[in-house]
Amino acid sequence: MAAAWPVVRWWGRLEVVGLEILPTQGPTLVPANHDSSWDPVVIAAAARKRRQIQALAKASLWKNPLLRRILDGMGQIPVRRGEADTDALEAAIQCLAAGGCIGIFPEGTRSQGRQLRARSGAGRLAQAVPEARIVCAAVTGTVDIARFPRRPRLKVTFFEPTPSSPSESAPELAARLTAELRAVAPIAAAGRTP
């Protein structure tokens, strides 16, 4: 975070909206959109004055020894993509139930400019810990970080989603959260050219 902060704050001209909505304590679930590899860093930087977000991150990131130490130090939770990783989900549920703040990308991976269907994980976490507060984090501008010398204009908007109904299933909840996030942060393709 210390190394990324200058890129995010000064080069990226980070703007944060709705930070006061993010609770400073208690179980909190933070679903977010995902268009760039920078999204987790930018969201964490935006939230840093109020809360450290522990995120579900792809397990392959732990292969790099340096990155492994950083991820473990931040309390991130490795998840094996492409399979039902019940261990990762259980670890996230335990953290959330203990009052932690868990970040999750309902789409499961970067959009790469295409629409993805929501995975049920965000809905399952919310239903497993019903007392958890849900605060969405819509991030925009991260796809522009790679477009040097053009400076990006990063923005993270924290907002509460519409309340869920008791009959809403985990996949339906995840799909609704994704739709609400994408209404604030439309899909954008990362890369050197817009």
Residue 63 falls inside a structural domain: yes
CA distance 8 to 14: 6
DSSP state letter for 19: G
> What is the pLDDT at residue 191?
67
List the one residue out of 43, 1, 52, 57 whose CA is nearest residue 23: 52
160 located within any domain: yes
**CA 156 distance to own-chain centroid:** 11
**Looking at the domain assignment, is residue 9 inside a domain?**
no
Is residue 193 included in any domain, yes or no? no
- Report how many domains make up the chain: 1
pLDDT of 50:
95
95 half-sphere exposure, CB direction, 13 A CA radius: 22
**Is position 180 within any domain?**
yes
Residue 127 belongs to a domain:
yes
Kindly report the CATH number assigned to the domain that includes residue 139: 3.40.1130.10
Residue 6 lies in a domain: no
Whether omega before 40 lies within 30 degrees of 0, making that bond cis, reads no
Q: Which residues form the domain of 18?
A: 14-184
- pTM comes to 0.91
**Residue 82 burial (CB count, 10 A):** 8
Contacts of 73 (CB under 8 A, 6+ apart): none
pLDDT along the chain (194 residues), means of 10: 79 95 98 93 93 88 85 82 79 95 92 89 95 97 86 96 92 96 92 59
Structure confidence at residue 61 (pLDDT): 84
Residues 126 and 96: their CA atoms lie apart, in Å, by 9
